[in-house]
Structure 1
Amino acid sequence: MKIAVLLSLGHHPVSGRACAARGDAQAIALAHSLGGEVMGLHAGPGDAAIGDYLGHGLTRLTVLEQPAGADPVPALAKALAELRPDLILAGRQAQGGDDTGLVPYLLAERLTRPIVADAAAITRVGGNVVVEQALPRGARRRVTLPLPALVTVHPAAPPALPFTHGALRRGTILRRPGEAPTAIAEPIEERPYRRRPRLMGGVAGGSAADRLKAATEVTGGGGRLLVEPDPAAAAREILDFLKRVGVRRG
């Protein structure tokens, strides 16, 4: 079984220095639990910190060197199409970089592979893998996935393998140029904070009448009851109400 682990450069939350991302290191540990050939793949700047993954259990990794800010998906898709791994593992999202979490899904679309998110454990059964998904509130769900496939790893997965300097020194890094650098299609836009409208309150459980009352009432709205008003008066009352609750300005 050939397993490729997608690697990103994380940023330490205190020092801000580049380091191995926790989710990607957990993906390496899951890959080793399945056995077979495990390799790492990174597209981006060839920072020395990428070698930290060797200390977490990888014997070799390939760096597709690209400038910072370049779209990693084309380079990764081309390399994975050449490697043809049975299983591709990735962390849930990057750690301190462009944390969109979309790269695994874009790769699954390009490679036409099924994808399952938030794996807490993986076992192989014949030509399939059984993924134990981590759901909210500690729930778990088992999904059988035919190979080849792509799986993202949840923080609830087993911890990363212990870091050892011996493994770091024995590992091999292969560097090769990535695809022609292209800017990410949708640049991130920064906006000043704007106060959001207040949400209407609700009641969990209770009778149908209680839930209907909670859904139609707004505390402190100060609305008036109009009986068969003309359209202009009704419109003015609605606009005044939306101003009072903060949904409409001006």
Structure 2
Amino acid sequence: MRIVVLLSAGRHPATGAPCPVPAELQAIALARQIAGAGGAVEGLHAGGRDEAVLDALGHGIDGLTLVAAGAADDPLGALVAALEGRLPDLILAGRRGRGGADGGLLPYRLARALGWPIVADAIGAGIAGGEMTVTQALPRGGRRAATVRGAAVITVHPAAPAALPYVHRARLAGRVSEVAGPAALPAALPEGAEIRPYRARPKLIGDVGGGGSAEARLQAVSETRDAGGRVMLRPAPDEAAAAILEFVARFRPRKA
């Protein structure tokens, strides 16, 4: 069995340093469990030689393929082009990347482009009688078993078993293959689109459900939410310091 694990250029949420995505390392461990002793587990990344991606070589993959793609390109075309020549038996991925424009839709888009089914939020899997049984994580600790026949894309939940230990020797000796991507790749964002910071929206009366008592509905309509300050994008140091002092002063206890 040959399994491909999708890897992304992760970044640490606090420092911004290159860092593998934990769910993707868990996907490698799950792929190793599924493939068994005689199977092959390979990594696939659309982009350059990023340290976060190369570190995955020390966590149990047999080799890594890097498909040329720019940071502003849509990686879907590069991934499909790399897979079409030799389709694997399974494709595993994390729920979403970490550190860039990560929406978590790439595994679903890839499954649609290949015409494969997709199983989300896997925490375990096993093969018996030519069929694969995948255990999915549900809200509030629930679990569900799904049966997969044939090739499929599987995303791994953070509640899956932990990643394999890091082996630096395997990282240094890992096989890395760089291949050319398609001649032209569409941009990751459509022309004219822009990324804006999240801002809380006012609660609309139309959002209130018809259920509940009259008192509960009245309270839902009259409730207001404090936005908790104002959004400052790349402010000057003096302006940022003044805003912090102003915010802290609101909670300073008054003298009697």
Superposition TM-score, scaled by structure 1 size: 0.79
Which structure has more strand as a fraction of its residues?
1
Structure 1 residues 126 and 212, CA, compared in 2 at 3 Å: closer, same or farther? Answer: same
| Structure 2 counterparts to residues 190-201 of structure 1, below 5 A | 190=196, 193-197=199-203
Listed one character per residue, the Cα deviations across residues 157-188 of structure 1 (whole Å, up to 9, x for unaligned) are 00111111111112111111222232124444
Deviation at 1:66, TM superposition (A): 1.2
CA contact (8 A) 2:94 2:157 kept: yes
In structure 1, the gaps of 5 or more residues are 203-209, 222-243
Query: 2:9 maps to what in 1?
Result: 9
Deviation at 1:49, TM superposition (A): 3.1
Structure 1 residues 191 and 60, CA, compared in 2 at 3 Å: closer, same or farther? Answer: closer
Structure 1 residues 150 and 96, CA, compared in 2 at 3 Å: closer, same or farther? Answer: same
Identity %: 45
Structure 1 residues 192 and 39, CA, compared in 2 at 3 Å: closer, same or farther? Answer: closer
CA contact (8 A) 1:59 1:170 kept: no
Query: 2:81 maps to what in 1?
Result: 78
Question: How many angstroms apart in 1 are the aligned matches of 2:173 and 2:198?
Answer: 49
Question: How many angstroms apart in 2 are the aligned matches of 1:176 and 1:214?
Answer: 64
Helix, strand or coil at the partner of 1:152: strand
Structure 1 residues 146 and 188, CA, compared in 2 at 3 Å: closer, same or farther? Answer: farther
The structure that has the greater radius of gyration is 1
Q: Which amino acid aligns with 2:55?
A: D
Superposition TM-score, scaled by structure 2 size: 0.77
Listed one character per residue, the Cα deviations across residues 24-55 of structure 1 (whole Å, up to 9, x for unaligned) are 11100000011211111000233233210001
Matched, 1:101 2:107: no
Query: 1:68 maps to what in 2?
Result: 71
Query: 1:182 maps to what in 2?
Result: 186
Structure 1 residues 220 and 177, CA, compared in 2 at 3 Å: closer, same or farther? Answer: closer
Query: 1:173 maps to what in 2?
Result: 176
Query: 1:124 maps to what in 2?
Result: 127
